[in-house]
Structure 1
Amino acid sequence: MVKTLNEQEFYQAIYQGSWVVEFWSDSCGPCKAVAPALEHLSHEFQTTHFGKVNVDQEIALALQQQVLGVPTVIIYKDGMPHDFLYSLYSVNEYRERIKSALG
């Protein structure tokens, strides 16, 4: 399951274990392809949390996290970013990057 996060929820959540967070926008075509890929992976990586942040609603948070474009996926472990994925990737590439970052 991919949880929608606002700024307050985001900062409470990412310090608790491993997170894969997509920063997206309603007007972003590629973002629509990222969502099902991450939903699929959320069932594979059951000890990792998955979230998404709408940058149109959470502009300050997106800037604080150095999100300059969408889609951006950031992999966090105990609050620290371990990998940044800018643009659209295949499910296999997301899988490998998650494994590598959280290994």
Structure 2
Amino acid sequence: MANVKSLTKDTFEETIRQGKVLVDFWATWCGPCRMQTPVVEKLAEEMPDVTFTKVNVDDEAELAQRFGIMSIPTLLIFENGQLQKTMVGYHGEGQLKEALS
């Protein structure tokens, strides 16, 4: 997970302003989240122009609430601080690459 940065409410705003950013809202107890993680990590290696991040909803409930996260995994794609796309549930490599292009 070296290329996937964990975000907190203190680092969130600054990070999402840095070009194209994928935020993966997840939790350790979530099965589909554990399936999503290797896909996000692989794309983080392949797409250096995108910042890949994670938010643990148990640790950062305030952020999850702010974005109305009701199910996880939920992936949010930001560009220069603006929310561009919301993807709920597991998404494969092809779907994520397309969403990020």
Structure that is richer in helix per residue: 1
State the partner residue of 1:92: 94
Which consecutive unaligned segments of at least 5 residues does structure 1 have? none
Q: How much does 1:68 deviate?
A: 1.3
Cα RMSD for the two superposed structures: 0.8
Identity %: 32
Asked if 1:45 corresponds to 2:47, the answer is: yes
Which consecutive unaligned segments of at least 5 residues does structure 2 have? none
State the partner residue of 2:74: 72
Q: How much does 1:11 deviate?
A: 1.3
TM-score normalised by L of structure 2: 0.93
Q: How much does 1:66 deviate?
A: 2.0
Q: How much does 1:27 deviate?
A: 1.2
Q: How many residues align?
A: 99
Q: 1: distance between equivalents of 2:33 and 2:72?
A: 7
Query: Secondary structure, in 3 states, of the residue corresponding to 2:12?
Result: helix
Q: 1: distance between equivalents of 2:31 and 2:44?
A: 21
Q: How much does 1:41 deviate?
A: 0.5
Q: 1: distance between equivalents of 2:54 and 2:42?
A: 14
TM-score normalised by L of structure 1: 0.92
Q: 2: distance between equivalents of 1:86 and 1:61?
A: 16
